[in-house]
Amino acid sequence: MSYAAVVVGSAFVPYLPLNPNPNGSLPSPNNTSQNTGGVGCGGAEETHLSTMKPTVTVAASSGFKWRLVIAYDGTHYSGWQYQQSPPTIQCIVEKALTQATKLERKDLLLVGASRTDKGVHALGQVAHFVTPFNYDSLESIHAALNGLLPSDIRVREISPAMPEFHARFSAKRKIYHYKIYNDTIMDPFQHRYAHHSAYKLNAAVMREAASYFIGKHDFSAFVNASHNDRVRDPVKNIFRFDVIEMGALLQLEVEGSGFLYRQVRNMVALLLQIGKEAIPPDIVPMILASRDRKELAKYALSAPPHGLCLVTVNYNEEHLGLPSSCPKTSFGRHHTISKCKLPFY
């Protein structure tokens, strides 16, 4: 099976159908009538983007799904998941989308691939939303979104998505990086994005310990209780867990089928204790076998959030196909300066 990364458990989830006006014209953003169609992508209707509210005609049972790749500095936000106060990434992105599309939040159905925690960063968060209208080009909506968003949140890419694509449930693999600055004095240019450890860490034993996480395991001992999440399958598959030395910086790269609440930070916390040589590497399988969060708590607390970054979300190739009759993917556009034409003398 081949995978494709959008950057840098699969299930089909039904989509809220769309109900255009009986005469076939675009329903107003305030239309709250019951929806009856499915979300797809087809037909290239004319789009008026200067006001960011497309003037289009929509077929009676069609809608359009769009995929976003988003990068953000999570320092000032309470994670991804929607809440108004304190603000979250999803809340800020939805506000920008409602302004750019003139649609209500309930109509956009924005969903993120990963519900990153407070203070966690992302380079390749993936999300999708739906509209009852198509676009000729995505460059203008892309520029509008980044113009509306604060400077610490950026839409890196926007593309049409297949009806079957779901940012969260279609994801096959995710890659997180955790950075540790291992020196006596913290680099002030790293302090937002790396955890400082003044203890000299033994990268070799950390690498040995990380290898015990690879494979399919029950990670119940490495999950924190979450009041706003349903009970999830604790069995996850870790494909790789690398410990990479880059001068004073240690980068821990973990790739897995999915992760439980604070699982990555809890694994990193244990590796930090092992790196300090406070406990041996072979304690990892013992804690995994216990399936008891209290067992991990005897040795380590969660690592701080600011060292963690969601780097990549991978999907099956078929989920990343571009629907026919839809605009090309937008990666942003460069500004150009018009050259002054001088007369010949």
User: Looking at per-residue confidence, does 63 or 122 come out higher?
Assistant: 122
Reduce the DSSP state of residue 9 to 3 states and report it. coil
Out of 73, 117, 136, 152, the active site residue is 117
pLDDT tens readout for residues 67-86: 999 999 999 999 999 987 88
| Known active-site residue 117 | yes
pLDDT tens readout for residues 306-326: 999 999 999 988 889 888 888
Average pLDDT on 263-283 reads: 97
Per-residue confidence at 51, pLDDT binned at 50, 70, 90? very low
Structure tokens, 23 = 């005469």
Q: Please list the residues that pair with 25 across neighbouring strands.
A: 57
**Which own/partner contact pairs does 46-53 have at CB distance under 8 Å and 24+ positions apart?**
46/136, 47/133, 47/134, 47/135, 47/136, 47/137, 49/135, 49/136, 49/137, 49/140, 49/141, 50/140, 52/99, 52/100, 52/101, 52/102, 52/140, 52/141, 52/144, 53/101, 53/102
Residue 334 scores a pLDDT above 90 = no
Reduce the DSSP state of residue 328 to 3 states and report it. coil
Residue 7 scores a pLDDT above 60 = no
Average pLDDT on 156-167 reads: 96
Phi and psi, residue 339, nearest 5°: -80, 135
pLDDT of residue 318: 87
pLDDT of residue 21: 38
pLDDT of residue 2: 59
Least trusted range by pLDDT, from 6-20, 171-185, 190-204, 310-324: 6-20
User: Residue with structure tokens 């203070």?
Assistant: 119
Average pLDDT on 106-122 reads: 96
Identify residue 22 by its one-letter amino acid code.
Answer: P
Residue 286 scores a pLDDT above 80 = yes
Answer for the pair 58, 26: CB distance below 8 angstroms, yes or no. Answer: yes
